[in-house]
Amino acid sequence: MTEALVITDVTPRDGLQDASGFVPLEDKIALVEGLVSAGFAHVEVTSFVHPLRIPMLPDGDQLVPQVAHLSKHLVALAPNIKGVERAITAGLPAVMLVASASESHNQANLNRSRRDTLAILSETARYAHSRGLLVHGAISAAFECPFEGWVPVANVVEMAQAYREMGVTTLNLADTLGTATPKMVKERIHAVREATDSSIPLGLHLHDRQGWALANVAMAYEWDVRHFESALGGLGGCPYAPGAAGNVDTEKLVAFFEAQGITTGVDLDKLAILRRQLLNVIARHLPTPEEGAS
C-alpha cells in the first residue's frame, strides 16, 4: 500500500537557523503553534546543536517543553548522544540525524570526516532507540556539493546503507544547494532503494536555487516518495554551504499538491497569515549596521 503524503514543515529549524534576524523564544513558540493549527502534524522544531555552531537556535531546551503536547510527530536535529539526551529531557519523541554525502561539506558542516560522523551517528542511533525514540536520517549534499560539485551516486548509496544499519524510520535525501534536477532525483531514488531493499521510506528535503524544486517533487511523487520537507516563505539554507538557496516554499508545495487533488489537510489561508507574522518578526529583529549580521 502506498503511504499517505507527509509534509514536514522545517521552518522553526532550517528556516530560522540562518535567518537575517533573530526570532525570540515566544515567537518560535507561536510559530510552532501556528503550524500545527494550520494542519501540520509533522514539524521540525529546533536543533540540539551547540549554540556556537547555530547561534539562531540556542533555546531548544526552553522551546520544546512549551510545544511538545501539540503533536506526537515533532522532531529535532540531534548530532550526537548529548543532543538526544536534550531531546529526551525536553520531551520529544523523535530525532533527526544528519551526515553529508560530500566529504568537504561534512567537514564544513560537522567539523569531522564522514567516516567519523557515521561512527558517532551509529552510537547515537543505538542510544536513541534504547530510550524509545524514533530515529530519522538525512543525507545532506545528496546531489551537489558547494565545494566539490556533483556528488557521486555511490557516496549517497554508502550513506543510505549506513543509515539502514542504524534502523532509521525514514531517510531524507537533501538537495542542500537547491540545484538538483528531476533526472538526478529519479537516479538517486532508484539507487538508494536498490541498496536498501526499499525497506526505508524515502523523503526529499529540497532547496530551490534553480526554480526546479516542484519539478523534483513531481518526479519523486511519481516514484512513490511520500515524505517532503519545506519552509514558510522559502526561508532557510545551510550556514556551511556557500550558495545554498532557501527551502522549497511550504505554501507553494501545499498548493501544488492540492491543485492535483492530493489532499494535504493544510489551511493555506492560515499559512499565509503565519508567514506574514514571521517575516515581520524577523524584520523587527534585524541587526543594526553597527552590530553586523549574526
Which three three-digit cell numbers place residue 171? Answer: 531517510
Known catalytic residue at 145: no
Residue entry with cell 524510520 = 169
pLDDT single digits (tens) 145-187: 888 889 999 999 999 999 999 999 999 999 999 999 999 999 9
What's the pTM value of the predicted model, to 2 decimals? 0.94
DSSP state of 101: S
pLDDT single digits (tens) 219-278: 999 999 999 999 999 998 776 666 677 899 999 999 999 999 999 999 999 999 999 999
Out of 29, 160, 192, 238, which one is annotated catalytic?
238
Distance CA 213, CA 46 (A): 23
Task: Name the E strands within the chain.
Answer: 6-9, 42-47, 73-77, 94-100, 134-140, 144-145, 149-150, 171-175, 202-206, 227-230
Pairing of strands 42-47, 73-77: parallel
Distance CA 250, CA 279 (A): 14
In terms of Cα–Cα distance, which of 75, 165, 87 is closest to 126?
Answer: 165
